[in-house]
């Protein structure tokens, strides 16, 4: 298990220093361009590279601090996802320095701005092999899921995402392959291509950041000091017994509880969270109670929360039960690995400071489920996501106009 420590900081990490760093870098660039000789102009590439390298360090440091402050946050995704992108830009400018040292000053300046303008498209090119393999894995897992679980529209999500990932890159490459016409027509063409790349870049960074956040939080092993363990419900069988998916969550929670009791002598209380669906003979909470009772868990160590219909209600109603007994309780929750991160976000939204533990699921099931989780994440925090996306669009629009103006 990973050695990260969650929830050990009380101060939220900030990245305001990036704004100060940006201002300082712009001033230094201006001084270099105004007062530097021709031999010093190539140093502008190294200055830009140093700036993006410093931004990368700040973002990755913020990512690690965010895990210690609150791992279940969109900031965790953003810091890591865009940290990879800024690292790519830093490396690109180091390479550019060696390419332009002998060029005329005007060509150097054009290359400096042009490289930044083409950063989104360049990132897509260099990450294409990874995305191609990832898309192929998604398609294979979806086909296996359909073979084992039957055809349902939701089981096509992985294939659809794979088509979007590969198709978007192919579309951009084909569109950007050749262009002719007046300068205004070429500028408009490049503007549209850069905006498409910026939008694609945003979702790629979010996807990569989500994969890392999912992996870190899913493999985390909570401290053995918990008072309550929430087991998140899911669909049950028609005879009222748990499905393999739900049984995995129960087994994970039970293993943790027994390990904690053996290590510390503290026996946590299970909070079994899940209501009764229209096609279910009993509530998911009751189904879980019966299973745990068969494993020897006494009734006094089980609380039933049988009103919830989704993960958000799981957390909200479970919190009510727990805080009615102990507002200072230490809480963990058990769910599938692909579901830990988003469940943690739901818990923090109702001010429940709980940490998650993930159980395994069949290999062909998790990629499609992970795609559903990613789509679910994109539907949240729309304001923050829209601000980042619009900032990228504005930046690439401004750079395109400056490039052709120059």
Q: Along the 406 residues of the chain, how does pLDDT read in single tens digits? A: 446 789 889 899 999 999 999 999 999 999 988 888 777 889 999 999 999 999 999 999 999 999 999 999 999 999 999 999 999 999 999 999 999 888 888 888 888 889 999 999 999 989 989 888 888 888 888 888 788 777 777 778 788 888 888 888 888 777 766 667 787 888 888 888 889 999 999 999 998 999 899 999 999 999 999 999 999 999 899 999 999 999 999 999 999 999 999 999 999 999 999 999 888 899 999 999 999 999 999 999 999 999 999 999 999 999 999 999 999 999 999 999 989 999 999 999 999 999 999 998 777 666 767 777 788 788 877 888 899 999 999 999 999 998 887 6
162 and 100, same structural domain? yes
212 and 232, same structural domain? no
Per the domain annotation, does 243 fall within a domain?
A: yes
212 and 255, same structural domain? no
For residue 303, report the phi and psi dihedrals to the nearest 5 degrees. Answer: -115, 135
Per the domain annotation, does 190 fall within a domain?
A: yes
269 and 199, same structural domain? no
- Domain boundary (307, 329, 351) is at 329
Q: Domains in the chain: how many in total? A: 2
Per the domain annotation, does 373 fall within a domain?
A: no
153 and 184, same structural domain? yes
186 and 310, same structural domain? no
Per the domain annotation, does 388 fall within a domain?
A: yes
Note whether 269 and 303 are within 8 A (CB): yes
Domain that holds residue 317: 228-329
Q: Using CA of residue 161, residue 193, residue 89, residue 380, what is the dihedral sign?
A: negative
313 and 394, same structural domain? no
Per the domain annotation, does 346 fall within a domain?
A: no
23 and 149, same structural domain? yes
Q: What is the CATH number of the domain that holds 250?
A: 3.40.50.620
254 and 114, same structural domain? no
Note whether 274 and 234 are within 8 A (CB): yes
Per the domain annotation, does 3 fall within a domain?
A: no
147 and 291, same structural domain? no
188 and 93, same structural domain? yes
Cα(180)–Cα(169) distance, integer angstroms: 21
Per the domain annotation, does 64 fall within a domain?
A: yes
277 and 165, same structural domain? no
């Amino acid at each position: 298990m990973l050695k990260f420590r969650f929830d050990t900081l009380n101060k939220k990490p900030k990245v305001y220093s990036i704004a100060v760093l940006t201002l300082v870098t712009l001033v230094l660039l201006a001084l270099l361009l105004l007062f530097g000789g021709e031999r010093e102009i190539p140093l502008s590439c190294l200055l830009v590279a140093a700036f993006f390298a410093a931004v990368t360090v700040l973002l990755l440091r913020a990512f690690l601090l965010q895990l210690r402050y609150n791992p279940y946050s969109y900031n965790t995704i953003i810091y890591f996802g865009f940290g990879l992108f800024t690292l790519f830009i830093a490396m690109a400018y180091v390479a550019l320095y060696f390419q332009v040292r002998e060029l005329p000053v005007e060509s150097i300046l054009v290359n400096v701005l042009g490289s930044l303008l083409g950063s989104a498209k360049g990132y897509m090119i260099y990450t294409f092999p990874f995305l191609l393999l990832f898309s192929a894995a998604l398609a294979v897992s979806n086909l296996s899921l359909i073979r084992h679980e039957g055809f349902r529209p939701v089981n096509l999500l992985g294939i659809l995402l794979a088509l979007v990932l590969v198709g978007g890159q192919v579309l951009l490459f084909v569109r950007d392959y050749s262009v002719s016409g007046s300068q205004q027509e070429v500028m408009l063409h490049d503007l549209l291509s850069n905006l498409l790349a910026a939008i694609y870049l945003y979702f790629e960074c979010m996807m990569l950041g989500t994969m890392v956040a999912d992996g870190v939080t899913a493999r985390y092993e909570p401290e053995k000091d918990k008072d309550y363990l929430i087991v998140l419900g899911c669909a049950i069988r028609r005879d009222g017994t748990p499905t393999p998916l739900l049984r995995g969550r129960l087994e994970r929670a039970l293993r943790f509880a027994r390990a904690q009791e053996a290590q510390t002598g503290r026996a946590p209380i299970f909070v079994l969270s899940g209501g009764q669906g229209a096609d279910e003979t009993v509530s998911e909470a009751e189904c879980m109670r019966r299973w745990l009772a068969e494993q020897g868990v006494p009734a006094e160590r089980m609380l039933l929360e049988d009103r919830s219909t989704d993960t958000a209600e799981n957390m909200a109603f479970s919190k009510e039960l727990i805080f009615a007994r102990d507002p200072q309780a230490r809480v963990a929750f058990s769910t599938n690995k692909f579901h830990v991160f988003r469940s943690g976000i739901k818990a923090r939204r109702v001010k429940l400071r709980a940490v998650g533990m993930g159980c395994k699921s069949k290999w062909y099931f998790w990629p499609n489920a992970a795609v559903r989780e990613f789509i679910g994440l994109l539907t949240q925090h729309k304001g923050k996501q829209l601000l980042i996306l619009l900032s990228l669009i504005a930046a690439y629009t401004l750079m395109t106009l400056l490039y052709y103006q120059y």
